[in-house]
Structure 1
Amino acid sequence: MLVLVLDQSDFLARYWQREPLLLRAAVPDFVPPVSAEELAGLAMETEVESRIAECRGEPASAAAWHLEHGPFPASAFDRGHPWTLLVQGVDQLLDEVAALRALAGFIPAWRLDDIMVSYASDGGGIGPHYDLYDVFLLQGEGERIWRIGQRCDDSTPLLPHPDLKLLAEFDCQAEYTLQCGDVLYIPPGVAHWGISVGDSTCFSIGFRAPRMADLLSRCIDARLVQLPASLLLGDAGRSPTGAPGEIIGADIDNALLQLRELLTTRADNSWFGELVTETEAEPPAGPELRQMRSALHKAGSHARLAAGARVAWQALDLDIRVFANGNSHLFGLQVREPLVTLCADGVLPLPADTGCAELLEFLIREGALEVSGATKN
């Protein structure tokens, strides 16, 4: 079983979303689950998202950087300049890579984005940059130097490149050479720059967060549906005005106070779970849906989370609200244990208890569950 060697409570209190952290031998006896050759094979497939970044000159020059998108022919992997192949969502393609999710199992699953795997030739990398997500960089084959730079935001100057967000200036504040099994955590907004020493691979376990603008929009939309049309702004106890046309600061403060009360009152908060579990996954078509429903009742079969599926749940007073790929449904408390198992292990033995039949039906219908024995068209 894969284990990330760190004090989870200390890490969350001191480093998560705050400071970078180097963890030597964080995954003891780590054996990279995919090789550079296998990664190249994936990048040749049409349905796989892949890119190649190549540096043909001085890294500080935008003109030196070239980006290409896959799928790639075999000839694309023979280059005379330092280059890097990046393949997104490899955890959705290979079970062995999906197992790496367990390394960060102490972070809520709804925060997990995907596991990107990169191969870099000697000197390869994607230049100095910063990301808007948390990432654990797990070193696979070979070695890679990581330089840690300054804090960045929307005002940080970038090189004028059409495809890559390369920093115009990089203030190196720390440098580490990672070997197989080492992990470097990088919080959002911290500049970093990876440079391969010889050929190397890296597994990037990335965590997304919803934009505050999206959260605010969803929250307000949900509250608007719930508010009665007769609810008006109240201003009982106001003081006499000396200028009838003036809007004073106290009026605005009063309105903001009542708005805050509306936004923070306990109500149906399903909007949050629906937002953070949204995906582009397509629900199964009619024949496939019927085959999966049939397989639910076969002894010895298993249900597993579909590739790219997002499932979460929220405990209420008398129910459990389950979220799957952006939709939600209320169930009885008996679905809690199966949900814990499914979200932690990714699989669920079948046939399940009769009390979970409705849950499994919901997950299948939303495209979040696959059943062994179901034949795909």
Structure 2
Amino acid sequence: MAEFPIEVRASRQQRLGMPVNTFLRDYWQQRPLLVRGAFAPWRDPLSAEDLAGLACEDLALARLIRLDRKRNHWSVERGPFDEQIFPALPKRDWTVLVQDVDKWDPDVRQLLDVFEFLPRWRIDDVMVSFAAPGGSVGPHTDHYDVFLIQGSGQRRWQLDLRGHAARFRQDSELKLLENFQSDVDWLCQPGDMLYLPPEVPHFGEATSACLTFSIGFRAPSRSELLADLADHLETTDDGLTRFADPGRQPVRDSGRIEPDDLDRVRDLLRQTAELSDAALSEWFGRAMTRYRNPGLLAAPPKAISKAQLIKRLQAGTHLVRHPFTRLAWRASRPGARLYALGDALSTSTKLASTLCGSLHGDLAWFEQLSEDEQQIVLQLVNTGHLAIERA
């Protein structure tokens, strides 16, 4: 491990403590990395009280995890919670976690700007947790990459890098490791950031009341991808291709599955794996903008016209991506294909890139678009993907 240090210090020029290319080459999906001071000086983008309030909202995905130390038992309660639950909690050994906080809070959402060196379609959400002293979710592994940013307070992180075979406890709905043994022990301060690749056993415990901001990345499984592709193929001509067996020979045993039939099935499935680049990318763009979406996007109650949109922009408003949408694009001659929660639109490369990037669409920006581009923007407004905000 000396060749690849697992603890470094950030600088103004290098938030990761090294060039991005070095991080991607030597650490991404390979080994953990603690970056001291990655977000120093740190200021919490939301408070523990704000998080507790969000955990009480009907549409928020929240959990409360408690540890009974005498029984060494973790229990889970799911939100939304009554606001009276938090003052009644003990002084230690519990944590509240809320998913998708970036969708609800613009200041938390800004944390994602730091990770623009990774494709946005890979990012899942920002989960925020508040833990009383001793609060944790127990020793576990994750199937995805995660950056854990330490907010106010302190948290102790222990990691097992020796690759012990995972065994899981049977006494909790949490998938807790039964045989966790740490060989790395860190105390994280506000502004420190811990990167963990998939399947690294880890255990984080608050040593004081603390906030932690977790940027999780999506990693769809092969079975999920195949299931989605199968659904997609049902809507295309490719999905109409059926098993065929011309030139079949008589069988001796009608109950037996013949090796030749398995070869025919393999050939049929291989045709699916050999989709054209255009067909594969069309499915993937739709799938990845739809995958694990909370489904809280709603179109405005009444569609607006181009003239009405211009009038609103003239009043000083601007267009932004709705926090619950997910956009991505790919090059497609003569321009681009833009994907929005599973839908696909053809537009210019410039507009697609802008809509998926740091969009701040004011009147001047809208007026310099072509007529076709303006119609795309208007369509996205009327389907809820773009929102009109006051400056």
How would you bin the TM-score normalised by the shorter chain? 0.7 to 0.9
Aligned residues: 364
Instruction: Work out the CA distance in 1 between the residues paired with 2:107 and 2:376.
Output: 27
Structure 2-normalised TM-score?
Answer: 0.81
1:75–1:253 Cα change, 3 Å: closer
Instruction: Work out the CA distance in 1 between the residues paired with 2:35 and 2:389.
Output: 38
Instruction: Work out the CA distance in 1 between the residues paired with 2:112 and 2:296.
Output: 19
1:9 to 7, 10, 21: 21
Matched, 1:358 2:371: no
Displacement of 1:141 in angstroms is: 0.6
8 Å contact from structure 1 (residues 52, 83) kept in 2:
yes
8 Å contact from structure 1 (residues 21, 184) kept in 2:
yes
1:261–1:121 Cα change, 3 Å: same
Instruction: Work out the CA distance in 1 between the residues paired with 2:299 and 2:328.
Output: 20
Displacement of 1:97 in angstroms is: 0.8
Letter matched to residue 23 of structure 1: V
2:351 to 322, 331, 338: 338
Displacement of 1:326 in angstroms is: 1.8
8 Å contact from structure 1 (residues 320, 330) kept in 2:
yes
Instruction: Work out the CA distance in 1 between the residues paired with 2:70 and 2:360.
Output: 48
Instruction: Work out the CA distance in 2 between the residues paired with 1:152 and 1:253.
Output: 39
Q: Hey, what does 1:294 align to over in structure 2?
A: 308
Q: Hey, what does 1:126 align to over in structure 2?
A: 137
Displacement of 1:191 in angstroms is: 1.9
Displacement of 1:313 in angstroms is: 0.7
Q: Hey, what does 1:315 align to over in structure 2?
A: 331
Deviations 1:143-202 (A, max 9, x none): 11111136589x74233224x222222122322111111111112222211111111111
1:314–1:362 Cα change, 3 Å: farther
2:63 is paired with a residue whose SS is strand
In the alignment, structure 2 segments of 5+ residues that lack a partner are 1-11
Q: Hey, what does 1:326 align to over in structure 2?
A: 342
Instruction: Work out the CA distance in 1 between the residues paired with 2:297 and 2:241.
Output: 40
Instruction: Work out the CA distance in 2 between the residues paired with 1:312 and 1:223.
Output: 21
8 Å contact from structure 1 (residues 19, 187) kept in 2:
yes
1:293–1:282 Cα change, 3 Å: farther
In the alignment, structure 1 segments of 5+ residues that lack a partner are none
Structure 1-normalised TM-score?
Answer: 0.84
- Following superposition of structure 1 onto structure 2, how do residues 1-377 of structure 1 map, counting pairs within 5 Å? 4-5=15-16, 6-58=18-70, 61-62=72-73, 64-77=74-87, 78-149=89-160, 156-162=167-173, 164-223=174-233, 225-227=236-238, 252-253=262-263, 255-257=265-267, 259-266=269-276, 267-269=278-280, 270-278=282-290, 279=293, 280-287=295-302, 289-290=303-304, 294-297=308-311, 298-299=313-314, 300-331=316-347, 333=348, 336-350=349-363, 352=366, 353=369, 354-372=371-389
2:194 is paired with a residue whose SS is strand
Displacement of 1:369 in angstroms is: 1.0
**Percent identity between the aligned chains?**
30
Displacement of 1:285 in angstroms is: 4.1
Letter matched to residue 362 of structure 2: P
Instruction: Work out the CA distance in 2 between the residues paired with 1:346 and 1:365.
Output: 17
2:81 is paired with a residue whose SS is coil
